[in-house]
Chains A and B, each alone.
Chain A
């Protein structure tokens, strides 16, 4: 009993110091001087624009990576093909690679002399220091989450239910929508939540490729840094709080809607 209590204390204590304390600190500091400075910082047109950019990038990256993640998971679990191990390993690349490196790679690829950059330049499309680069960076860093959640669930599910559906007359498409997707829905939802959180919080890769022009190519996280560098601490806190609150809200919602047996 004492041993178990000890274990619990260590686990809780660790989370408290490492995770919760900084979060509480942010909330505390933000509202230290009342709501006025918070409101001023958040209603600043450049801040509003930064949130807009973040939301646009997230709104594009999440659906793209959800579809890709489910397809990848299906391919990895259900199909046999050459290079399957490679694909499986590559999905995790964004987790292993520092976002700054990702940013630099995109910078080189889409720069004036890069492989893709030349083509885009010839067609008059500005990628770097504009929205496309921000979206690309966001997509890159949030690739693994849906696939990583769905793969173990698919493995556990097996394919007997789908075979049964096939003998009952269901086409491949009907089997996917009526059997596979409903069976993996919680894994997909959980993957989407993690992807969303990652997209909202992305900083490193976006910092390199966006050009961080205030009111044009600045995302919410870049806005925090901008405020910090300009000694506008209350502004930095205010934006941070919105980001943190969103993350907490998403996690709470997740816990509430997820059925008991799936936890």
Chain B
């Protein structure tokens, strides 16, 4: 089922959680909604599920207006950060809940629950109560429960947020594989950019109740539509007046157009790459990432003066994907400056 969010706004008192957000999620995709806390990402998900009502705007599910429809009639599966396990029911009864409610025959429920428990690898735990499961097991139970009635959309709200790092990594992989198997349209909310990039095939970046950019993980990294996306997705450093990725900085021993004079403060070798810490004349610090062979060719030493430039010409050069003119996006760096610096850098090479 496809999801279409049209001009949705939502306030909680004086706090603007969502400000005129429009987003389309195609049938069968695995989309991450990425943003810092308070960016409105969970509210957006809850509006899709019907757990929250938008102040204005509409939600379309499979092309039908679902804005006023109660959550129990939307045919969505929802997974909560803190599992929301039914504590007074066994794992089997938890997973069976949606089917019991729908008064399916006992035999069918039994078979479906067994199948789901196998899918989430909880076969031996059917008769346990949730209080006797680990966090990861509880979340897998919650996933099985959400999938039981074959929902048309699976929504996950920070599903791995409460788990430790190792279990998180395991469940990420597992979610990815599950999606390949089941192919249900899936949207998950996260504040972890690595998680979003690794699991999703499309990422929607949100900040301050607005949508910053939607695209494939590589697109967000290579062509961020705003300074926020650039900073939030991967590392970014400031060189002169523009923002670049550390690995895009080029160091030269002679001055060039647009190149900034910097002093080498420290060199750290990290396997195949090296990190070079630099200071500009005005005291501004930045970090460049070079390949080891580049570093050896330069033959740098601590305290030496070099000239740094970058190739940000692809970046912030009027991106159409965000659907917003760049003029609105610049926060503390003027978009015009990027263009100028980009053009200058391009000329050097």
Chain A residues in the interface with B (C-beta under 8 A): 160-161, 163-171, 174, 178-179, 182-183
Q: Given the known A-B contacts A160-B82, A183-B87, are A167 and B70 also in contact in the complex, defined by CB atoms under 8 Å?
A: no
Tell whether A167 pairs with B146 under 8 Å between CB atoms, given A160-B82, A174-B101. yes
* B308 CB within 8 Å of chain A: no
**Residue in A164, A170, A171, A182 whose beta carbon sits within 8 Å of that of B80 in the complex:** A164
Contact partners of A168 in chain B: CB under 8 A: 72, 77, 97-98, 101, 145-146, 148-149
With beta carbons under 8 angstroms apart, the residue of A164, A171, A182 that contacts B84 is A164
Interface of A (DSSP majority class): helix
Select A163's contact among B51, B87, B97, B145, beta carbons within 8 Å.
B51
- What is the distance, in angstroms, from B247's C-beta to the closest C-beta of chain A? 43
Within 8 A of A (CB), among B200-234: none
Question: Distance (Å) between the CB of B251 and the closest chain A CB?
Answer: 53
Measured CA separation A210–B50 after assembly (Å): 54
How far, in whole Å, are A166 and B149 apart by their CA atoms in the complex? 13
Q: Are A163 and B84 in contact (CB under 8 A)?
A: yes
Q: Which residues of B contact A (CB under 8 A)?
A: 49-51, 70-74, 76-78, 80, 82, 84-88, 97-98, 101-102, 142, 145-146, 148-149
Contact partner, A167, options B77, B82, B85, B88, Cβ 8 Å: B77
Residues of A within 8 A of B49 (CB): 167
- Interfacial chain A residues near B86, Cβ < 8 Å: 161, 164-165, 179
Q: Is the CB of B51 within 8 A of A171?
A: no
Chain B residues near A183: list those with CB within 8 A: 87-88
A to B contact number (C-beta, < 8 Å) = 61
The answer to whether A169 touches B98 (Cβ under 8 A) is: yes
Q: Could you say which of A163, A164, A166, A171 has the most chain B C-beta atoms within 10 Å of its C-beta?
A: A164
Determine whether the beta carbon of B145 is less than 8 Å from that of A166: no
Q: Which of B77, B84, B102, B145 has the most CB of A within 10 A?
A: B84
Partner of A169, one of B72, B80, B82, B87: B72
Partner of B72, one of A160, A161, A170, A178: A170
B145 contacts across to A, CB distance below 8 A: 164, 168
Inter-subunit contact B51/A167 (CB<8 Å): yes
Considering residues B70, B97, B98, B148, which has the most beta carbons from chain A within 10 angstroms of its beta carbon? B97
A166 touches B72 (CB 8 A): yes
Smallest CB–CB gap between B295 and chain A, Å?
Answer: 52
Cα(A165)–Cα(B78), bound, Å: 10
Contact for B102 among A161, A163, A169, CB less than 8 A? A169
Q: Which of B71, B80, B98, B146 has the most CB of A within 10 A?
A: B71
Task: Contact check, B76 vs A165: say whether CB atoms are below 8 A apart.
Answer: no
A167 near B87 with CB under 8 A, answer no
Inside 8 A of B72's CB, which chain A residues have their CB?
A: 166-171
In the complex with contacts A168-B145, A168-B146, A163-B101 CB distance below 8 A:
no
Q: How far is the CA of A170 from the CA of B94 in the complex (A)?
A: 13
Alpha-carbon distance A178/B99, docked complex (angstroms)? 13
A169: which B residues are within 8 A, CB to CB? 72-73, 98, 101-102, 149
27 intermolecular pairs with C-beta atoms under 8 Å apart: A160-B80, A161-B84, A161-B85, A161-B86, A161-B87, A163-B51, A163-B78, A164-B78, A164-B80, A164-B142, A164-B145, A166-B50, A166-B71, A167-B49, A167-B51, A167-B72, A167-B74, A167-B78, A167-B146, A168-B98, A168-B101, A168-B146, A169-B102, A169-B149, A171-B72, A178-B97, A183-B87
CB closest residue in chain B, given A183: B88
Q: Chain B residues with Cβ under 8 A from A161's Cβ?
A: 84-87
Complexed CA–CA distance, A37 and B145 (Å) = 65
Given contacts A167-B74, A168-B145, A168-B149, 9 further A-B contacts (CB under 8 A): A160-B82, A160-B84, A163-B80, A164-B80, A164-B142, A166-B70, A169-B149, A171-B72, A179-B86
**Nearest opposing residue in chain A for B102, CB measure:** A169
CA–CA, A163 and B50, complex, Å: 10
Residue in A160, A163, A167, A183 whose Cβ sees the most chain B Cβ within 10 Å: A167
Contact yes or no, A166 B51, CB < 8 A: yes
In the bound complex, residues from chain A placing their C-beta under 8 Å from that of B146 are 167-168
